[in-house]
């Protein structure tokens, strides 16, 4: 695999980052994951805009402009022959010469920019989309700025492990009695013609797929209600699903052992997945 590090395209075993890099020592970095379909990038503009916001919120310097980032994404997709898969991008505050809690001077410490691709043939035609996911609920024990897409992913990773141990596919996190989001996706329930999902705040990541799917839902004459919901309400809903750049729209068929609706993928979730894939392919760059 050819990867990108600070201006260079390299074989992955030649790519190096300092042990003093702030992401390695302090999780002081942000990331984006953009999917690739038909060799093209899905919603690159959305991911670039969110990256800019994450950097700004953390007072971190951008490593380059958006046009350059687009070029690097495209070049990596080309060099690695990706038809379906993902591009991972990470920006860190860089590597000052020592470990210190205080941010280094941005004039002297360059941000670190790393990108690599993940080849995932069959991503859009995933069998999981046909069977649906079984999820468990867990307490949300993350920090309070989940709107910033940092590489601080230990708790979500632990959540996936809790799900795996319980024989489930993923976990939804719950805070003060309400679902925040999935470990790596936004969470939704469907009641009648209404798509219900938590409103944007610092409590959840502002999903790029979420924004697109809510727009498509409205265009397809579904109602959208942005509000909190509990696990109990979700278990009693007609349908449930999640969205993310890597899973698109994925039906949820079971929550904490209770079947949602008929216990099979709901027709609105399936329809939204089709619309999302069709429209995203058309708009890909």
Active site (catalytic) residues: 149
187 binds ligand PMP (CB under 6 A): no
Burial label for 70, CB within 10 Å (0-12, 13-18, 19+), is: middle
186 binds ligand PMP (CB under 6 A): yes
Count residues contacting ligand PMP (CB under 6 A)?
A: 13
Nearer to ligand PMP, 112 or 243 (CB): 243
CB of 285 to ligand PMP, least distance (A): 16
185 binds ligand PMP (CB under 6 A): yes
CB of 244 to ligand PMP, least distance (A): 4
Strand order in the sheet with 40-41: 8-11, 2-5, 112-119, 85-92, 29-37, 40-41
Q: Using CB under 6 A as the criterion, what x/- string covers residues 206-245 for binding ligand PMP?
A: -xxxx--------------------------------xxx
Nearer to ligand PMP, 181 or 239 (CB): 181
With b for 16 or more beta-carbon neighbours within 10 A and e for fewer, the 135-144 pattern comes to: bbbbebebee
Beta strand pairing status for 178-182 and 223-226?
unpaired
Sign of CA dihedral 274, 278, 280, 285: positive
CB of 250 to ligand PMP, least distance (A): 11
Q: Using CB under 6 A as the criterion, what x/- string covers residues 32-61 for binding ligand PMP?
A: -x----------------------------
Can you give the binding site for ligand PMP, defined by CB under 6 A?
A: 33, 181, 184-186, 205, 207-210, 243-245
């Amino acid at each position: 695999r050819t990867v990108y590090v600070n201006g260079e395209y390299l074989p992955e075993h030649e790519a190096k980052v300092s042990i003093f890099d702030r992401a390695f020592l302090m999780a002081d970095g942000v990331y984006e994951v953009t999917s690739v379909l038909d060799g093209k990038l899905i919603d690159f503009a959305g991911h670039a805009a969110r990256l800019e916001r994450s950097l700004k919120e953390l007072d971190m310097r951008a490593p380059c402009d958006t046009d350059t980032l687009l070029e690097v994404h495209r070049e990596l997709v080309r060099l690695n022959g990706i038809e379906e898969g993902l591009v991972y991008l990470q920006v860190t505050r860089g590597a000052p010469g020592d470990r210190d809690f205080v941010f280094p001077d941005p004039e002297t410490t360059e941000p670190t920019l790393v990108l690599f691709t993940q080849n995932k043939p069959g991503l859009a035609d995933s069998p999981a989309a046909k069977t649906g996911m079984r999820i468990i609920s867990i307490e949300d024990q993350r920090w309070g700025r989940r709107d910033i897409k940092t590489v601080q992913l230990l708790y979500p990773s632990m959540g996936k492990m809790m799900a795996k141990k319980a024989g489930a596919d993923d976990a939804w996190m719950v805070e003060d009695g309400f679902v925040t989001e999935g470990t790596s996706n936004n969470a939704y329930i469907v009641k009648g013609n209404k798509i219900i999902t938590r409103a944007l705040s610092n409590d959840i990541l502002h999903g790029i797929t979420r924004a697109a799917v809510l727009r498509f839902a409205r265009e397809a004459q579904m109602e959208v209600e942005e509000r909190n919901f509990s696990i109990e309400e979700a278990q009693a809903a007609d349908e449930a699903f999640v969205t993310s750049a890597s899973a698109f729209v994925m039906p949820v068929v079971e929550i904490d052992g209770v079947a949602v609706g008929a216990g099979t993928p709901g027709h609105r979730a399936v329809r939204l997945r089709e619309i999302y894939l069709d429209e995203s392919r058309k708009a890909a760059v």
